[in-house]
Structure 1
């Protein structure tokens, strides 16, 4: 997965560990965000689609697990089928530095 420059046109999602029916979501690319990183993906609108992100860190790598699902408050709600270019910050316990960024694959 490639590193790309920040894109202000992306919709910012907030990590939501309470999403319903989580499933692995493909990460398109990643961006440096301060001392950490953000991952970029394609999803539905934030009104009807949520994400949960976690990272496993070693001295050499950061492996990102991005899950998509439905926010609890949106279950049973009518939603439009619209693709959104999204991004979400990945919390890290140490600065990214020169570690390699990997993604959990489906």
Structure 2
């Protein structure tokens, strides 16, 4: 009989690495209601870049956007973003990796649509959002 307490961890982000698309410009979309909202986590393990597929304007705040990308389940995986801004572009880099509390634990390799809110230094205005 299998002992459920003796589970082996699944390699944390190997399946998610295939989600890097490389599209330079995400598309502007209405906020997807079905996406899982993540909180920025800078302390991820085995983090790797993912492509932002789309972005939305956060209602009531011209200096905030929500970026949408593929991640793993929020019980095991998190995201970290950095933003570089010029007068004409906002370049976003998102990485997905294992949360510190999930290191060494068995995690399912489900792929989920995720959202991360980002605060900009200035309102987006007419600037282009790009993957970095």
Residue aligning to 2:45: 20
Task: Detail structure 1 runs of 4+ shifted over 2 Å in the superposition.
Answer: none
* Conserved? CA contact 1:52–1:66, under 8 Å: yes
Separation in structure 1 between the aligned mates of residue 130 and residue 50 of structure 2, nearest angstrom = 13
- Please point out which of 87, 95, 114 is paired with 1:86: 114
Say whether residues 1:55 and 2:83 are aligned partners.
Answer: yes
Task: Provide Cα deviations, 1:29-56, integer angstroms capped at 9, x if missing partner.
Answer: 1111132211101111011111001100
Separation in structure 2 between the aligned mates of residue 52 and residue 91 of structure 1, nearest angstrom = 13
Residue aligning to 1:71: 99
Say whether residues 1:45 and 2:69 are aligned partners.
Answer: no
Q: Mark the structure with the bigger radius of gyration.
A: 2
Determine helix, strand or coil for the equivalent of 2:27: coil
TM-score by length of 1: 0.93
Q: CA deviation at 1:91?
A: 2.0
Determine helix, strand or coil for the equivalent of 2:57: strand
* Conserved? CA contact 1:54–1:91, under 8 Å: no
From the two aligned structures, give the one with the greater strand fraction.
1
Aligned length: 104
Task: Provide Cα deviations, 1:27-84, integer angstroms capped at 9, x if missing partner.
Answer: 1111111322111011110111110011000111100010111111110110112111
